[in-house]
């Protein structure tokens, strides 16, 4: 090949596709991160609409709007879409955007795998949402898919199982990519104990994903063979055991809730030091606390199953190990509060979200401690108390953590500041709506209202009305969020190099002086 053709050949490779090709074939970590974030937001809206259907039905006692079967389809799909379509992809998107920049890498380690792990998601969720239109409708056995409920439903369940497999493959590939990037592509001098907390939480989360998702895959494959191939893993009539499904499922399901929350902890650990104008208190204890939480998350799974008739020794083991998790979690809360202590604090939107997340997650943590106590759990199990607990942890921890991250990094991504006043309004509407929605559910559960039912006794009416009103406020306030993000993308005040006054420098904990090439990233917006 002559020199000129070689040059031409290189030029051809440097050519960046435009239009839809840019997104379909992208190997750029920022583009892929952006796609994850938008995909996650779309799923957040769809899952939220399903929740609003559930809440609208529960506004009054009696059956108003939907059949009990459709109600169960909505609760099941709301959960699957929110967990696998909204809460997980949003943090993979944040990881794609931020991790290479935070560790001084040019891109992710495996850019094409990165593209593939994203593009598995749209077909997976098309399948899942499409199951609503299949004969017999979508799965209606709860997101946990316990047999025998999940063995008796129609074709929609098979579509859901295939969709779950695709999401799982996507998660595992994304995790392998993140692990490979963090372990192999750090800038010179960036030792593990110098990495930003967000990178640490994602490294540990990626290991959790790689170890727990295959367990879920095993459970739903056994379910599939029970449904179609005559096996009887979970069919008591054939010598199987439905409780075995619960064990396998929760061995995945409990690490899963930490997969959802740990990256949010990482975000908070970046944001609080920034707006307190001082370094994170107890960095190494934070790292070890995350590792301890991750380890313990694998040995507490049967606290979801106290009512299945476990031996007393088993119940005691799961009770004590569950209570143990509150220690490293408490360490993290303490360190965040100590970071803010006597800091020069300001309360921009990301900081409001960070403090809100710490506060709301703590409420969820305390109700979790109540659920950990075996004899009490017999009272709370399968009531709205569990629903309240779960949403304080996942909405009040994961989703508010994601909002925190978006407001924090949006100026870096777009080159423009968002509208601060609107951001604060969005924060207050979201937090107030969230509390009106889920706080009354604690009382409903303690009074004995079971979850996953379309109808209820009269004494539960007022709290359900409050809850539905809160849900409407919570849902509508997300339209404002979309407006704020679009406005920042289109224009607005230009963001400076140091977006957050005098504090952004704390985010990079590189030894000085950093290598000259480390942080020269291409311009964020063409």
* Separation of alpha carbons 485 and 419, rounded Å: 9
Q: Is residue 273 part of a domain?
A: no
Tell me if 49 is assigned to some domain.
Answer: yes
pLDDT of residue 508: 42
pLDDT at 14: 55
pLDDT at residue number 242: 96
Quote the pLDDT of residue 492.
84
Q: Average pLDDT for residues 484-493, to the nearest whole number?
A: 94
Q: Is the pLDDT of residue 473 over 50?
A: yes
- % residues pLDDT > 70 (the chain): 92
CA dihedral 455, 459, 465, 470 (to 10 degrees): -100
| Packing angle of the helix pair 283-296, 312-340 (nearest 10 deg) | 160
Give the tens place of pLDDT for each residue, 227-246: 999 999 999 999 999 999 99
260 and 485 Cβ atoms separated by less than 8 Å: no
Question: Using an 8 Å Cβ cutoff, are 74 and 66 in contact?
Answer: yes
**pLDDT tens, 275-331?**
999 999 999 999 999 999 999 999 999 999 999 999 999 999 999 999 999 999 999
Query: pTM, whole model, 2 decimals?
Result: 0.92
Distance CA 389, CA 368 (A): 6
Rounded average pLDDT over 153-167: 94
Number of domains observed in the structure of the chain: 1
Which are the contacts of 513, defined by CB distance < 8 A and separation ≥ 6?
none
Average pLDDT for 387-410 = 98
User: What pLDDT, on a 0 to 100 scale, did the predictor assign at position 501?
Assistant: 66
50 falls within a domain: yes
**The pLDDT of residue 512 is above 60:** no
**pLDDT tens sequence across 430-468:** 999 999 999 999 999 999 999 999 999 999 999 999 999
Minimal CA–CA distance to 355: which of 341, 376, 367, 369?
341
The verdict on residue 154 lying in a domain is yes
> Taking all residues of the chain, what is their mean pLDDT, rounded to a whole number?
92
Residue 109 placed within a domain: yes
Whole-angstrom Cα distance, residue 137 to residue 67? Answer: 12
> How many Å apart are CA 314 and CA 442, to the nearest integer?
27
What per-residue confidence (pLDDT) applies to 498? Answer: 82
- Give the per-residue pLDDT at 241: 96
pLDDT digits (tens, 9 = 90+) for 318-375: 999 999 999 999 999 999 999 999 999 999 999 999 999 999 999 999 999 999 999 9
Burial class (CB in 10 A: 0-12, 13-18, 19+), 310: middle
Question: Is 171 contained in some domain?
Answer: yes
pLDDT band of 152, cuts 50, 70, 90: confident
User: So which residues are the catalytic ones?
Assistant: 78, 107, 143, 170-171, 254, 256, 258, 269, 303-304, 329, 332, 451
Which has the closest alpha carbon to 26: 111, 92, 120? 111
Exposure of 485 in the CB half-sphere (CA atoms within 13 A): 18
CB 87 within 8 A of CB 399: yes
175 within domain boundaries:
yes
Nearest to 280 by CA among 338, 345, 201: 338
Got the DSSP string for 455-487?
---GGGHHHHHHHHHHHHHHHHHHHHHHHHHHH
Q: Per-residue pLDDT averaged across 518-524, rounded?
A: 45
- CA 471, 475, 478, 479 torsion-angle sign: negative
The pLDDT value recorded for residue 496 is: 85
Q: Average the pLDDT over 402-412 and give the result.
A: 97
Query: What is the span of the domain harbouring residue 106?
Result: 17-195
What is the structure's pLDDT at 15?
63
425-455: burial string, b at 16+ Cβ within 10 Å, e else? ebbebbbebbbbbbbbbbbbbeeebebeebe
Q: What pLDDT sits at residue 136?
A: 85
Length of the chain, please? 526
Contact 174, 117 (CB under 8 A): yes
Q: Is 268 among the domain residues?
A: no
DSSP state at residue 519: T
d(CA 413, CA 98): 10
Is the pLDDT score of 34 beyond 80?
Answer: yes
Nearest to 269 by CA among 204, 198, 357, 214: 198
């Amino acid at each position: 090949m002559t020199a000129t053709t070689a040059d031409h050949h290189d030029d051809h490779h440097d050519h960046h596709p435009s239009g839809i090709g840019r997104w379909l074939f992208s190997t750029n970590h920022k583009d892929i991160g952006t796609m994850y974030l938008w995909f996650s937001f779309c799923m957040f809206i769809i899952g939220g609409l399903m929740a609003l259907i559930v809440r609208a039905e529960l506004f009054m006692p009696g059956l108003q709007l939907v059949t009990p079967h459709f109600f169960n389809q909505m609760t099941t799909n709301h959960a699957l879409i929110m967990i696998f379509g909204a809460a997980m992809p949003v943090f993979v998107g944040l990881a794609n955007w931020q991790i290479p920049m935070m560790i001084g890498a040019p891109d992710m380690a495996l850019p094409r795998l990165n593209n593939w792990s994203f593009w598995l998601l749209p077909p997976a969720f098309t399948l899942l949402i499409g199951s609503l239109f299949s004969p017999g409708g979508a799965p209606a056995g709860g997101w946990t898919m316990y047999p025998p409920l999940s063995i008796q439903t129609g074709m929609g369940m098979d579509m859901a199982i295939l969709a779950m497999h695709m999401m799982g493959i996507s998660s595992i590939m994304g995790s392998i990519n993140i692990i490979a990037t963090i372990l192999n592509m750090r800038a010179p001098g960036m030792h593990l104990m110098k990495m930003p907390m967000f990178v640490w939480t994602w490294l540990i989360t990626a290991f959790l994903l790689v170890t727990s998702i295959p367990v879920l895959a095993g459970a739903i494959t056994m379910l599939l063979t029970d449904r179609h191939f005559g096996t009887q893993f979970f069919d008591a009539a054939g010598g199987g055991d439905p409780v075995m499904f619960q064990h396998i499922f929760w061995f995945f399901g409990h690490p899963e809730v930490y997969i959802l929350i740990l990256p949010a902890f990482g975000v908070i650990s970046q944001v609080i030091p920034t707006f307190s104008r001082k370094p994170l208190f107890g960095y190494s204890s934070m790292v070890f606390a995350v590792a301890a939480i991750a380890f313990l998350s694998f040995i507490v799974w049967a606290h979801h199953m106290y009512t299945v008739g476990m031996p007393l020794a088993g119940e005691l083991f799961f009770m004590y190990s569950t209570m143990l998790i509150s220690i490293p979690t408490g360490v993290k809360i303490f360190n965040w509060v100590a970071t803010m202590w006597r800091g020069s604090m300001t309360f921009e939107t990301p900081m409001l979200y960070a403090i809100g997340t710490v506060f709301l997650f703590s409420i969820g943590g305390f109700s979790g401690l109540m659920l950990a106590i075996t004899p009490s759990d017999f009272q709370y199990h399968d009531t709205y108390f569990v629903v309240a607990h779960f949403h304080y942890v996942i909405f009040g921890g994961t989703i508010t953590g994601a909002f925190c991250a978006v407001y924090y990094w949006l100026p870096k991504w777009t080159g423009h500041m968002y509208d601060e006043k609107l951001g604060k309004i969005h924060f207050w509407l979201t937090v107030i709506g969230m509390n009106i929605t889920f706080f009354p559910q604690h009382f409903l559960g303690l009074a004995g209202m079971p979850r996953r039912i379309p109808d209820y006794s009269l004494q539960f009416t007022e709290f359900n009305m409050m809850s539905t009103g809160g849900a409407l406020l919570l849902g509508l306030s997300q339209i404002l969020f979309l407006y704020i993000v679009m406005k920042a993308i289109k224009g607005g005040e230009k963001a400076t190099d140091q977006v957050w006054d005098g504090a952004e420098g704390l985010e990079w904990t590189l030894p000085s002086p950093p290598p000259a090439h480390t942080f020269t990233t291409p311009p964020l917006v063409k």
